Every structure is written in structure tokens, then in C-alpha cells.
Amino acid sequence: MRRLFLLCSLALTLVYAKDGVEFKYAPKNLERTYPTAQNQILSYNNILENVRTSIVNISIKKEVSSNQLGANPFFNDPLFKEFFKGYGDIPQDRIQQALGSGVVVSQDGYIVTNNHVVEDANKIIVNLAGDKKEYEAKLIGKDEKSDLAIIKIEAKNLNAITFYDSDKVKVGDVVFALGNPFGVGETITQGIVSATGRSGVGIVEYEDFIQTDASINPGNSGGALINSAGHLIGINSAIISKSGGNVGIGFAIPSNMVTTVATSLIDSGKYTRAYLGVNISDISDDMSKFYNDNYGALITSVEDNSPAAKAGLKRGDLIIEINDKKIGSASELKNTIGSYAPSKTVTVKFLRDKKVDTKNVMLATLDSKTVNGELEYKGLKLTQINSTHKQQLNITINGVLVINVDEKSEAYSAGVRKNDIIIQVEDNEIATLDDFKKATSSKDKKRVFIYRKGYILAIVL
């Protein structure tokens, strides 16, 4: 008994054995510490009062078609519209309104928000906290792959938010989500950081989310996730929910990614990612044994004439560091390379045959490069048709399939739509992505022949 009392008095963890299994028990005399007394109130008001004026309300107006007739270029022909005038067969466009949030990042009016908040907007209106004036904003630039956009209003002496290094954010940190959900006015919700480095969620192409249980409701998109010191650690982006309501799983784009993308958008109106030229995957526990129990991004293929090929990287290499930053997964490598500007030289540390090696690699641009079997060209995202596509689309022809079209692109204006199949460029029949790249290697406009639902049309692109 005396021995037990001594263990308790030293506030050590007690261990009891039962049926050969030891269970750990906390000391029985742990003291509770109360954050406040009856004559004190625990509050973050001083922190939040300062940062709340950095959060803005964003409302947009955009024209949307009430059907999908616009997918056929013939419906844009004025003669065609005149022919059906009065028959009601071509519904009129209507105005759609939406609400979101944004964060002031400079005193002279630059504001960061989500791309999906301002996408396709014909008019962007910004309301500042405590200011009854409405400001019309100009879209400076956007990056769909990270879901970030920069807008600007003509205003001065705004309260720009203070950024925090998101690499230093820890699970369990107290955080606040600020925004304007449902257009009811400023709201603030509290929670903690549930996880960092979340990827594979399927929201955008480049994912490195901070996960939080602080409520992120509709209208909070583009708002701020701040720490208890009032510093920005992320831009609220999305939630996981079956009903649309908050269930405690929200995602924010980390501040380090925000600063990288936002700086480029402000400087040039676009964000161009660097390109390494490898296809990569994660590795299993069994696979890691072949790499001295290390994890990283496994190279599964190297593209010809790519930066990786020129540096001598090979299939089977496991990339574990980029510029001394540890790489633990394929998504970490993708995000890290994507954060650099083209033409930057990086040091790649990798494992080959259980030996560590390093290579200096000069990165290239991602524009018009084939990545994971997909090619980006003038706002189009293309992939080569395979047997699965043929079965799904009930076709037998060869070509390259349009899997996405930027609605602001030249290709969209020319009439190219998702699920179109490009079968010929000028006199060159197209069967592969390489065929398409060779046929479009010059900058001259070309005739492009497209197969769409049983008929073939020609456009100039």
C-alpha cells in the first residue's frame, strides 16, 4: 500500500496487470485547471475584432442558359435564332445570383477568394464590413486547379490580413472560420485543426487541405480560416456532407499555397505550374521494404524529353525529398513541384537500388504537356480514346477525347464541347495524343474536325 501511495504522490501513470495484459491508468489526483474565474470572461474578441474587417462579402451575377442547346454551335447562329423566333423553342438566358466570401490581402484592394465563387460571373460586387458602399470588383486572375482567384476593388487603407506559415499548423490548434454564409452577415465559428495535408478528396486537382471541424457553411467559401493569434492559415473551400449541412469535415486551402498562387495571379493574371515529366504513385508497406522502409513518390514512368528524363531519373526511383523538403506521397510531390515556377532548378533526392542519390533538375512549364495520359491545349483537356471510352460512348472510331473545356477559352468560343472527339487536324488524322501534338505544333490557326454524337463538324482553332 505504501508503494502505491508513493506512485500516486509522484503523479506517475499507474500500470495494472490483468490476465497478462498491462493497462495504463492516469493518476487519480489530477487537478483541474479552470480557464476563468467568476469575475473573468475568456474571450477572443480582441483578436477577432481586428481581423473581421479583413473579411468581405462577395455577390455575383451571371447569365446562365436554361437548357443545354448552347452545346451545339448551330444554335449560336443568328439566322437560326431568327428562324425559331416566337416559337419558344430557344429559352432566354436568365440572371443567376450567388453569395460567397473573400479575404483582403492588400491595403489597396486585392482580395483572394475561391475560383468557384466568382467563376463565370458577369458582375462581382463586394461589401466591406462596416461600409454601406458597394464596390464593383474586377477579376484579376484565377486558378481552377487550386480553386483560387484574385479580384480587386478601388479602395485604399483596407485592413489586409496577416499570413501564417501553414507548414507550422498543428493538429489540435484552435481555429476560427470567418465568412458570410447565407448572406445573413458576418459569422464566426470555432473549432480545431483535425488534420493537415489532406489530398485525394477529389475537389480540385491540386489538394493539400487543412481539415477542420469549425463550421464552414454555404457562403463561407472564400472566407478565412485563422488561428487563435488572428493569422490566416487557410482559405475556406469545401465541406463533406450528404445533406449540404455542416458535419464537422471542412477543408481550407493552406496559406502557403494561397500566397504562391495569389502572388502570380496579381503579377501576371495567371499561375503557370512547373513540370517534372513523371507519372507517380504511392507505395505500400511491402513496397517500402525495397526502399529501406522509406515512403515517397514512386516513379512509374518518365516522359521522353522531359526535365526528369534529361536529369536521368528512371522508373522505379523513389523520390523522398525536393530541395530538402521531405516527400511522403505522390500528392506531396505533385503539390511541391506545382508550387515552383517553370525554369527553376530543384534538387531531387531519391532512392535507387536501396542507395540514396540526388539530381539537379531544371523544371519546365506544364502548358501543352502530357501528364498522366492527359494533354492540355488552349483550354482543352484531352485524353486518348481507349476501349472503355468506346464502350461508354458507343463508338468505334479513334481520336482524342475532350474531357473538359474552359468556358473562357478560345476552344469553347469556337464550339468545342466536352465529349467531342477530335479525329483530324488539317490533313492529319488523329489517333493518339502524339498525333495531336505534332499536328498542332505551330501557332497557326487550323481546321479541326470533330465527331459529335453521330455527325462530324469542322471548326477553326
Which residues carry out catalysis? 116, 147, 221
Helices and strands (H and E) in the chain: how many = 11, 30
Instruction: Report the distance separating Cα 155 and Cα 348, nearest Å.
Output: 44
Contacts of 263 (CB under 8 A, 6+ apart): none
On whether the CB atoms of residues 11 and 27 are closer than 8 A, the answer is yes
CB atoms within 10 A of CB 118: 23
Residue 253 CA to residue 233 CA, distance in Å, equals: 8
| Residue 296, C-alpha cell as written in the block | 515517397
CA–CA dist 331, 204 (Å, integer): 12
The torsion angles phi and psi of 56, rounded to 5 degrees, stand at: -120, 160
Q: Name residue 328's amino acid.
A: G
For 65-201, list the strands marked E by DSSP: 94-104, 110-114, 123-128, 134-143, 148-152, 174-179, 187-198
- On the CB side of 375, how many CA atoms lie within 13 Å of its CA? 20
The Cα–Cα gap between 101 and 216 comes to 11
Angle at 48 between CA 42 and CA 52, to 5 degrees: 155
Q: DSSP label at 206?
A: S
Listing DSSP states for 270-294 in one string gives: S---EE--EEEE---HHHHGGGTT-
Adjacent-strand bridge partners of 151: 111, 139
